[in-house]
C-alpha cells in the first residue's frame, strides 16, 4: 500500500446480473467503500464477491484466468468501453487508480448475438473457437522437431505475422464494434498464417472457411469505424482486415 | 468467382465500396460540369455542358448504370444494417463511442438517409424537369436552358439552406466513405494509405464546398 493519502475510493457499482442464458437480466447496484487504488478491477470484484458471499448472497459470475493480460478471459464492458477507460489493457490490467472517488461504474457483459451470456458477466465465446477450428491451422508432418531456421522468413513478414499472432481472442473487438463484427479477430488469425510459408498450403481454403464460419456465427459486418483497433488490448491493426478482404477476394476469384 | 462471395460479409462490403467509389466518380463529373456556372456568362457555357450531357447517348446509358449503382448501394446498405442490428439483439446501457471512433463513421446510415432525401428533392428540382416536364426554352446559343431552372430554384431561401446543409451531410459521408472504400477493397498499404486518407479528406471538403457555393452565390446574386 502507498502512503495512505487518497488511496481509498468509495464507489457505486452497477453490475449486470443474469441468472442464465434464457433469463432477461437487470442491473444491480452496490455501494463499495474503502477500495484501494492499488487493486486491479478484478480484485475489486473479488472484494465485492467476498462481501456478497459473507452476506449469504450469490457471488457475481465473471470470467478470469491469468490476471496478467495474456489469456483474454476478463470480458467486462466498463463505462461504455470494453476493458474500461484505458487503452491497450485487459480488465485485469486495469487498476482502480483509473477511477475517482464517488464514481459510478457501469459493468456489462459483451453484447453480441454470437456471445450468449452464460451468467452475469460471463459470456460464451465458443464462436471464436469454432471459427479457429474451421481453418485456423496448418498441416505439418509429425516426427522430430525441424531445425528452427530451415525455412527462412523475411523479417518484415515475420514481424507482421507476430503482431497478428498477438491476438488473445478476448472479443473486445466484437464488444466495441457498433455492428458486433468479429473481423479484427478473424483477420488477425487469417493474417498470422497467410504471412508465413507454413500457412501457404491451406491459404485460400482457410480464408474461405474462416469467413464462412464467422458469418455463420451471426457476427455483424465491418463498417471500418476503427473502434476494434482502438479498443484492442493487443493493438491488432486494421491492416489485418484489409489483408483478409484481399485474401478472400483473391480466393473467391481464383 | 466462388458462389458464396457476394453473400459473404466481405463480399457485401466490397459491393458497398465499389458502388461508393463509382458514385464518387460521378460526383467528380457532376462537379466539373456545374463549375461552368462560375464563368458567370449568364449560363451560356454551363448550358453547353448540360445540353451535351442531356443528349449524348453514352451519357444516357451511363445514367442507367448510375441509378443501378445508387440503388445497389442503398439496398446493400439496408441489408447490412439489418444484419448488424441482429448481431447485437441486446444493446449496452452505456456506450462511450467517442472514445474509439468518429461520430460520422458510426452514422453512415443516418447521413446516407439524409442524402437520399436530398437527392429526391434535387432530382425533382432539375433531373425531372430536364428529362420529363421540359425546360424553359433555349439560350442565345440554342442550347436547352437548364441554367434558367437553376436561377429560378435558387431564388428560394429554403432551397439554398437545404442544399448547403445537405452538402455538410455529403462531406461527412465522404470523409468516412472515401478511405473506407479502399480499406474494404483491401487496398491498405504503409505508403499509399496515408496518401489515400489525405486525398479523401481533401475530396470530402472540396467537392461539397464547391457544390454548396453554387446555390449560395446564385442566391446572393454574385453569379447572375
At residue B141, the pLDDT reads 93
Domains of chain B: 5-88+101-219 (1.20.1300)
Q: How confident is the model at residue A7 (pLDDT cuts 50, 70, 90)?
A: confident
What is the CATH number for A39?
A: 3.10.20.30
Q: Is B99–A246 a contact, with Cβ atoms under 8 angstroms apart?
A: no
Query: Do A69 and A173 lie in a common domain?
Result: no
Query: Do A111 and A188 lie in a common domain?
Result: no
In chain A, the residue whose alpha carbon lies closest to the alpha carbon of B189 is A239
Q: How confident is the model at residue A5 (pLDDT cuts 50, 70, 90)?
A: low
| Cβ-nearest to A225 among B2, B87, B105 | B105
Question: Who wins on pLDDT, A1 or A174?
Answer: A174
Give backbone dihedrals phi and psi of A36, rounded to 5 degrees, phi first. -70, 140
Q: How far apart are CA B36 and CA B47, in angstroms?
A: 8
First to last CA, chain B: 54
* B 176-215: CB under 8 A from A: 176, 179-180, 183-188
Query: Do A73 and A139 lie in a common domain?
Result: no
Residues of B in contact with A243 (CB under 8 A): 186, 188
Best residue in A25, A221, A254 to probe B by mutation, most B CBs within 10 Å?
A221
At residue B200, the pLDDT reads 98
pLDDT tens readout for residues A147-195: 888 889 999 999 999 999 999 999 999 999 999 999 999 999 999 999 9
Query: Do A49 and A91 lie in a common domain?
Result: yes
At residue B20, the pLDDT reads 98
Residues of A in contact with B183 (CB under 8 A): 224, 238, 241-242, 245
- Which residues have CB under 8 Å from A214's CB, separation 6+? A131, A182, A183, A186, B9
> How many CB atoms are closer than 10 A to CB A214?
28
Q: Flag whether A150 is in a domain.
A: yes
Q: Is A252–B185 a contact, with Cβ atoms under 8 angstroms apart?
A: no
At residue A91, the pLDDT reads 98
- Which residues have CB under 8 Å from B195's CB, separation 6+? none
Residue A2 has pLDDT above 60, yes or no: no
| Cβ-nearest to B184 among A81, A226, A245 | A245
Q: Flag whether A108 is in a domain.
A: yes
Q: Is A80–B102 a contact, with Cβ atoms under 8 angstroms apart?
A: no
Q: What percentage of chain A exceeds 70 in pLDDT?
A: 98
Q: Is A227–B97 a contact, with Cβ atoms under 8 angstroms apart?
A: yes
Q: How far is A80 from chain B (nearest CA, A)?
A: 4
Query: Do A130 and A235 lie in a common domain?
Result: yes
- Which residues have CB under 8 Å from A229's CB, separation 6+? A173, A184, A235, A236, A237, A238
Note the pTM of the prediction, 2 decimals: 0.94
Residue A1 has pLDDT above 50, yes or no: no
- Any CB–CB contact under 8 A between B12 and chain A? yes
At residue A6, the pLDDT reads 56
pLDDT tens readout for residues A207-222: 999 999 999 999 999 9
Tell me A31's DSSP state: E
A73, A95, A117: which is the final residue of a domain?
A117
Query: Do A108 and A178 lie in a common domain?
Result: no
Residue B4 has pLDDT above 90, yes or no: no
Q: Is A248–B87 a contact, with Cβ atoms under 8 angstroms apart?
A: no
First to last CA, chain A: 62
Tell me B194's DSSP state: H
pLDDT tens readout for residues A35-73: 999 999 999 999 999 999 999 999 999 999 999 999 999
Q: What ipTM describes this predicted complex?
A: 0.93
Residue B42 has pLDDT above 90, yes or no: yes
A117, A144, A163: which is the final residue of a domain?
A117
Q: How confident is the model at residue A224 (pLDDT cuts 50, 70, 90)?
A: very high
Of B125, B216, B122, nearest to B164 by C-alpha is: B216
Q: Flag whether A219 is in a domain.
A: yes
Q: Is B86–A176 a contact, with Cβ atoms under 8 angstroms apart?
A: no
Residue A192: how many CA atoms within 13 Å on its side-chain side?
19
Q: How far is B90 from chain A (nearest CA, A)?
A: 6
At residue A181, the pLDDT reads 98
Query: Do A76 and A146 lie in a common domain?
Result: no
Tallying the residues shown for chain A, one arrives at 254
Residue whose grid cell is 465499389: B18
Helix ranges, chain B (H): 9-34, 44-55, 57-86, 103-106, 108-122, 128, 146-153, 157-184, 192-219
Residues of A in contact with B89 (CB under 8 A): 113
At residue B142, the pLDDT reads 92
Q: Is A226–B86 a contact, with Cβ atoms under 8 angstroms apart?
A: no
What is the CATH number for A216?
A: 1.10.1060.10
pLDDT tens readout for residues A84-119: 999 999 999 999 999 999 999 999 999 999 999 999
Residues of A in contact with B106 (CB under 8 A): 178, 223, 225, 227
DSSP, collapsed to helix, strand or coil, labels residue A68 as coil
Which of A141-145, A237-241, B70-74, B164-168 is predicted with the least confidence, judged by mean pLDDT? A141-145
Total structural domains within chain A: 2
Query: Do A131 and A235 lie in a common domain?
Result: yes
* B 20-49: CB under 8 A from A: none
pLDDT tens readout for residues B134-143: 888 899 999 9
In chain B, the residue whose alpha carbon lies closest to the alpha carbon of A221 is B9
Residue whose grid cell is 478470469: A64
Q: How far is A5 from chain B (nearest CA, A)?
A: 30
Q: Flag whether A105 is in a domain.
A: yes
Residues of B in contact with A230 (CB under 8 A): 99-101
Q: Is B87–A112 a contact, with Cβ atoms under 8 angstroms apart?
A: yes
Query: Do A165 and A111 lie in a common domain?
Result: no
Query: Do A190 and A241 lie in a common domain?
Result: yes
Distances (CA, A) of A92 to A12, A76, A233, B46: 19, 10, 11, 65
Q: How far is B69 from chain A (nearest CA, A)?
A: 19
| Cβ-nearest to A226 among B91, B93, B101 | B101
Note down the domain range covering A238. Answer: 125-252
Q: Flag whether A211 is in a domain.
A: yes
Q: Is B183–A241 a contact, with Cβ atoms under 8 angstroms apart?
A: yes
Q: Report chain A's mean pLDDT, rounded to a whole number.
A: 95
Q: How far is B83 from chain A (nearest CA, A)?
A: 6
Q: Is A227–B187 a contact, with Cβ atoms under 8 angstroms apart?
A: no
Q: Is B84–A181 a contact, with Cβ atoms under 8 angstroms apart?
A: yes
A82, A117, A152: which is the final residue of a domain?
A117
Residues of A in contact with B173 (CB under 8 A): none
Amino acid at each position: 500500500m502507498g502512503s495512505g493519502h487518497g488511496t481509498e475510493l468509495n464507489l457505486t457499482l452497477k453490475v449486470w446480473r443474469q441468472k442464465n442464458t434464457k433469463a432477461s437480466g437487470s442491473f444491480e447496484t452496490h455501494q463499495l467503500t474503502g477500495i484501494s487504488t492499488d487493486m486491479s478491477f478484478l480484485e475489486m470484484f473479488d472484494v465485492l464477491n467476498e462481501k456478497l458471499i459473507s452476506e449469504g448472497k450469490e457471488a457475481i459470475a465473471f470470467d478470469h484466468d491469468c490476471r496478467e493480460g495474456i489469456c483474454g478471459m476478463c470480458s467486462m464492458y466498463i463505462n461504455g468501453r470494453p476493458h474500461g477507460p484505458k487503452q491497450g489493457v485487459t480488465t485485469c490490467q486495469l487498476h482502480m487508480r483509473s477511477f475517482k472517488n464517488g464514481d459510478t461504474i457501469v459493468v456489462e457483459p459483451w453484447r453480441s448475438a454470437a456471445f450468449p451470456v452464460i451468467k452475469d458477466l460471463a459470456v460464451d465465446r465458443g464462436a471464436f473457437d469454432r471459427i479457429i477450428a474451421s481453418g485456423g491451422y496448418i498441416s505439418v508432418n509429425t516426427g522430430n522437431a525441424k531445425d528452427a531456421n530451415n525455412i527462412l522468413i523475411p523479417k518484415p513478414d515475420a514481424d507482421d505475422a507476430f503482431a497478428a499472432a498477438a491476438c488473445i481472442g478476448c472479443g473486445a473487438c466484437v464488444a466495441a464494434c457498433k455492428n458486433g463484427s468479429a473481423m479484427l479477430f478473424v483477420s488477425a488469425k487469417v493474417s498470422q498464417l497467410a504471412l508465413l510459408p507454413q500457412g501457404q498450403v491451406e491459404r485460400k481454403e482457410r480464408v474461405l472457411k474462416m469467413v464462412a464460419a464467422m458469418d455463420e456465427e451471426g457476427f455483424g459486418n465491418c463498417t471500418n469505424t476503427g473502434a476494434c483497433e482502438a479498443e484492442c488490448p493487443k493493438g491488432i491493426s486494421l491492416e489485418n482486415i484489409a489483408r483478409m478482404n484481399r485474401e478472400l477476394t483473391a480466393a473467391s476469384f481464383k | 468467382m466462388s458462389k458464396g462471395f457476394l453473400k459473404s460479409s466481405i463480399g457485401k462490403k466490397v459491393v458497398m465500396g465499389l458502388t461508393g467509389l463509382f458514385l464518387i466518380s460521378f460526383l467528380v463529373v457532376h462537379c466539373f460540369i456545374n463549375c461552368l456556372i462560375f464563368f458567370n456568362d449568364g449560363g451560356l457555357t454551363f448550358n453547353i455542358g448540360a445540353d451535351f450531357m442531356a443528349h449524348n447517348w453514352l451519357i444516357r446509358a451511363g445514367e442507367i448504370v448510375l441509378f443501378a449503382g445508387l440503388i445497389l448501394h442503398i439496398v446493400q446498405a439496408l441489408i447490412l444494417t439489418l444484419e448488424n442490428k441482429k448481431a447485437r439483439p441486446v444493446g449496452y446501457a452505456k456506450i462511450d463511442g467517442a472514445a474509439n471512433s468518429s461520430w460520422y463513421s458510426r452514422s453512415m446510415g443516418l447521413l446516407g438517409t439524409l442524402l437520399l432525401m436530398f437527392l429526391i428533392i434535387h432530382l425533382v428540382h432539375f433531373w425531372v424537369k430536364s428529362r420529363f416536364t421540359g425546360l424553359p426554352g433555349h439560350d442565345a446559343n440554342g442550347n436547352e436552358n437548364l441554367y434558367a431552372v437553376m436561377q429560378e430554384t435558387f431564388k428560394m431561401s429554403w432551397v439554398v439552406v437545404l442544399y448547403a446543409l445537405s452538402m455538410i451531410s455529403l462531406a461527412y459521408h465522404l470523409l468516412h466513405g472515401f478511405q473506407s472504400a479502399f480499406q474494404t477493397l483491401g487496398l491498405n498499404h504503409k505508403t499509399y494509405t496515408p496518401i489515400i486518407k489525405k486525398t479523401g479528406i481533401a475530396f470530402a471538403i472540396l467537392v461539397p464546398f464547391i457544390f454548396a457555393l453554387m446555390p449560395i452565390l446564385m442566391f446572393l446574386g454574385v453569379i447572375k
